[in-house]
């Protein structure tokens, strides 16, 4: 029988809690990026004119084209460095705390993204909660990511939940 684990919280987690990681920036957002995203999201329907018709968008409260709130300016990023797959390998049973599930995410939106914006993202370990459930000790890890535009305005905050058992 496996040895009981008292906590899944590591010393590294204690050191990293609340510490922002290295920021990364997007390429400048273009009208074409916004239009293509909107077409993909609304397909086969026509996307709202706010996302592709400059004359129409000028008459709205935004005063011009804006991106849908779910627009991702990092979708076209160029990979840097070596890519390594994550997760368990076939036939391996992960050690206690190494079985990681996606617990979902919650987004809160600020200002809208516009053509010309450069978005900077940074992330940190926000907090965690340990609980004992039917599968034993379980750790809920909450990571916070924030996006800001070149003016420093908050565009989006995302809280992602990882579940380790």
Instruction: Give strand pairing partners of 121.
Output: 24, 147
Residue for token digits 């709205």? 60
Whole-angstrom distance, CA of residue 165 vs CA of residue 101 = 8
Note the pLDDT of residue 78.
66
Whole-angstrom distance, CA of residue 129 vs CA of residue 161 = 10
Nearest Cα residue to 55 out of 76, 31, 20: 31
Mean pLDDT over all residues of the chain?
90
CB count within 10 Å of CB 130 equals: 14
Token pair listed for 76? 């076209």
Does residue 162 have a pLDDT over 90? yes
Q: Are 118 and 26 in contact (CB under 8 A)?
A: yes
User: Which of 84-88, 90-94, 108-112, 134-138 is predicted with the least confidence, judged by mean pLDDT?
Assistant: 84-88
Domain range list for the chain = 7-28+97-165, 30-72
Assign 24 a pLDDT band (cuts: 50, 70, 90). Answer: very high
pTM of the model: 0.84
Pairwise pLDDT comparison (88 vs 36), residue with the higher score: 36
pLDDT tens for each residue of 61-81: 999 999 999 999 999 776 677
Question: Burial of 11 by CB count in 10 Å (0-12 exposed, 13-18 middle, 19+ buried)?
Answer: exposed
Note the pLDDT of residue 87.
62
Note the pLDDT of residue 1.
43
Helices (H), 20-100: 31-42, 54-58
Does residue 134 have a pLDDT over 50? yes
CATH number of this structure's domain 7-28+97-165: 3.10.129.10
Question: Burial of 66 by CB count in 10 Å (0-12 exposed, 13-18 middle, 19+ buried)?
Answer: buried
Assign 91 a pLDDT band (cuts: 50, 70, 90). Answer: confident
């Amino acid at each position: 029988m496996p040895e009981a684990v008292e906590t899944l919280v590591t010393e590294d987690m204690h050191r990293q809690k609340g510490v922002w990681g290295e920021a990364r920036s997007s390429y400048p957002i273009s009208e074409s990026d916004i239009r293509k995203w909107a077409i993909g999201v609304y397909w086969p329907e026509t996307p709202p004119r706010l996302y592709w018709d400059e004359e129409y968008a000028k008459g709205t409260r935004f005063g011009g084209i804006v991106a849908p709130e779910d627009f991702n300016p990092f979708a076209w990023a160029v990979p840097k460095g070596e890519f390594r797959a994550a997760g368990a390998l076939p036939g391996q049973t992960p050690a206690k705390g190494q079985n990681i599930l996606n617990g979902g995410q919650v987004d809160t939106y600020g200002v809208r993204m516009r053509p010309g914006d450069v978005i900077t993202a940074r992330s940190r370990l926000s907090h965690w909660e340990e609980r004992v459930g039917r599968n034993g000790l379980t750790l809920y890890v909450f990571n916070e990511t924030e996006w800001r535009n070149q003016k420093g305005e908050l565009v989006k905050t995302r809280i992602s939940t990882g579940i380790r058992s």
